[in-house]
């Protein structure tokens, strides 16, 4: 039988992160753990305030489907809307399936592994000099 647990963790950031909507020195994270027959899968999600998400809403969404029989990744897509709660639980289910099967997630997803993945992220607002230095630190 699948067990689902979720809890809030506060992760301190190495330095304050600033954007136009505010600053923060920590990340509020919901850690999701799923278990089945001695195997444990783990995932996490970070609520995005501007999308109406909060730690409380994430925990409530996850709590609402804990008793769901035969929950799997496909059924999850029908039960929860896209967002941080579904992401955390989906990642935990992928991790659990990988551990049970002895395969890596990319193998389960039937995709090839790639040596590099292009991504983007936001440089924290600061003085132009400090922002330039931050950009230089992470430049390829």
Euclidean distance between CA atoms 7 and 29, whole angstroms: 8
DSSP state of 127: -
Euclidean distance between CA atoms 115 and 18, whole angstroms: 31
Per-residue pLDDT of 112-132, as tens digits, reads 988 888 889 899 999 999 999
Euclidean distance between CA atoms 87 and 95, whole angstroms: 12
Question: What pLDDT is stored for residue 124 in this prediction?
Answer: 95
Per-residue pLDDT of 45-96, as tens digits, reads 999 999 999 999 999 999 999 999 889 999 999 999 999 999 999 999 999 9
**pLDDT tier at 38 (50, 70, 90 boundaries)?**
very high
Decide if 128 contacts 23 (C-beta within 8 A). no
Question: What pLDDT is stored for residue 139 in this prediction?
Answer: 85
Euclidean distance between CA atoms 70 and 83, whole angstroms: 21
Give CA torsion, residues 42, 10, 119, 52, to 10 deg: 90
The structure tokens 């809403």 sit at 57
Count of other CB atoms within 10 angstroms of residue 31: 16
Euclidean distance between CA atoms 35 and 20, whole angstroms: 40
Beta bridge partners of 8: 30
Q: Is residue 140's pLDDT more than 80?
A: no
Euclidean distance between CA atoms 58 and 21, whole angstroms: 22
What is the model's pTM?
0.88
CATH annotation of 3-111: 3.30.390.10
Question: What pLDDT is stored for residue 138 in this prediction?
Answer: 87
Domain boundaries, the chain: 3-111
């Amino acid at each position: 039988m699948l067990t689902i647990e979720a809890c809030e963790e506060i992760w301190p950031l190495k330095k304050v992160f600033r954007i136009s909507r505010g600053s923060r020195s920590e990340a509020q994270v919901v850690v999701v753990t799923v278990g089945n027959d001695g195997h444990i899968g783990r995932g996490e999600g970070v609520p995005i305030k501007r999308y109406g998400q909060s730690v409380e809403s994430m925990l409530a969404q996850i709590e609402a489907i804990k008793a769901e029989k035969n929950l799997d990744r496909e059924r999850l897509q029908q039960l929860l809307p896209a967002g941080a709660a579904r992401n955390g639980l989906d990642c935990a289910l992928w991790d659990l399936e990988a551990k049970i099967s002895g395969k890596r997630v990319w193998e389960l997803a039937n995709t090839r592994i790639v040596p590099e993945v292009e991504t983007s992220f936001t440089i924290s607002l600061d003085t132009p000099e400090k922002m330039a230095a931050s950009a230089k630190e992470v430049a390829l």
